[in-house]
Structure 1
Amino acid sequence: MNVEDVLKYGDLTLLKSLEGLKNKDQEKKGACGVWSIKDVLSHLTSYEIMLSDLLGTFLNIKEQSPTLDLLQSSGGEFNDIEVGKRANKPFSEILKEYKKAHSQVMKRAKQIPEKMLSKNGAIPGYGDYYSLEDYIVYRNYGHKREHCAQIVVFRDNLNS
């Protein structure tokens, strides 16, 4: 599997779903339940940062990983906490934060050996039959695709 391509196409799908978004539509509720497109972007940004944290553990990077730690410790509150942290930030700042996190993800993914990417059971608590590649496909790429589809449908409904 080409993890870099999977990450790249997930990113491009997200950016395409946001292309041409009007300022007035960024905070309208209903893109995903009660979330606005800005909230969905905040959510995806937190997951991008968390993935960067996770990839760092495979590279033995000794740094704080508060987003990964929060996901592991907060249970179902992670999304509300992370989206809430960005509630007063402008959309453009959240998008910039997402792009920075994605850049870090790409940089780190390139450094992880293929054997480690495909090794089942490498992620503690994720299951003995799943690899980092699986995690990236399902938890990053699939997750983005799901939310991008919601954004596109929401935007279509706004414009109809």
Structure 2
Amino acid sequence: MNKAELLKRLAENRDQLNVLLEGVPEEELIKPGAYGEWSVKDVLEHISRWESELIKVLYQAAQGAEPESEVFNPEYLKVNDVWFQESKDRPLERVMDDFQSARKQLIRRMTDFPEKQLTTPGVYPWMKKHALIVLLKDIALEHEEEHLEGLKTWRAALKS
């Protein structure tokens, strides 16, 4: 996958997610149970947090540093729990703003990042012979796709 393909798929996924949430009353977005025990708001916060970590990785990589980020933490389920506890009481409006702005910043950083630096395996020793784009695909694209599928089920249940 190259950068243009990844950016295109990220935009398509986000469009699907935005359409899915269109017209849903606020009380439904904050109600637990949309995705396991999480509300839609919690899912959006979760996606934003992981995308923010990718922004940090891209920034640090561009500076020539080995990134310090939760994306490399094998205990990511514990990270998810900590972040959930930290943010469960955040207002929906702030979560929605962060959800949009984290994606905009991620797209900007990806767009500015040289294609070769993203797609060439082994450029970054801390990526263990993988291209950096593999990390972006996993955490930004596939992660959102996973949650999108769960939210589609939630949305279908709202209509019945």
TM-score, length-normalised on structure 2?
0.83
1:46–1:124 distance in 2 versus 1, CA, 3 Å: farther
How many residues matched?
155
- Aligned partner of 1:111 in structure 2 is 112
Does the residue aligned with 2:108 lie in a helix, a strand or coil? helix
Runs of 5+ unmatched residues, structure 2:
none
1:152 corresponds to: 152
- Specify the code of the residue in structure 2 equivalent to 1:7: L
- RMSD between aligned alpha carbons? 2.3
The aligned counterpart of 2:99 is 98
Contact kept? 1:10, 1:140, Cα under 8 Å: no
1:38 aligns with 2:32: no
2:57 and 2:69 in contact (8 A); partners too: no
CA contact (8 A) 1:10 1:145 kept: yes
CA-to-aligned-CA distance 1:8-27 (integer Å, 9 cap, x gap): 22332332232222112112
1:47 aligns with 50
Paired residue type of 1:32: Y
Structure 1 gaps, min length 5: none
Percent identity, please.
25
Is the CA contact (8 Å cut-off) linking 2:51 and 2:139 kept in structure 1? no
Deviating 4+ runs (over 6 angstroms): none
Q: What code does the residue aligned with 1:19 have? A: E
> Against the structure 1 CA distance between its residues 124 and 44, is the aligned structure 2 distance closer, same or farther, given a 3 Å change threshold?
farther
Instruction: Within 5 Å, give how 1:59-70 maps onto structure 2.
Output: 59-60=62-63, 69-70=69-70
Give how far 1:28 is off. 2.2
CA-CA distance at 1:70 after TM superposition = 4.0
> Which whole-Å CA distance do the structure 2 matches of 1:121 and 1:61 have between them?
14
Aligned: 1:79 with 2:77:
no
C-alpha separation between the residues in 2 aligned to 1:135 and 1:49?
A: 13
2:140 match: 140
Give the Cα separation in 2 of the matches to 1:124 and 1:43: 28
Q: TM-score, normalised by structure 1?
A: 0.83
Deviations 1:73-119 (A, max 9, x none): 58231111222222111112101011111111111111111111111
Q: Which amino acid aligns with 2:54?
A: L
Find the aligned partners of 1:29 and 1:121 in 2 and give their Cα distance: 42
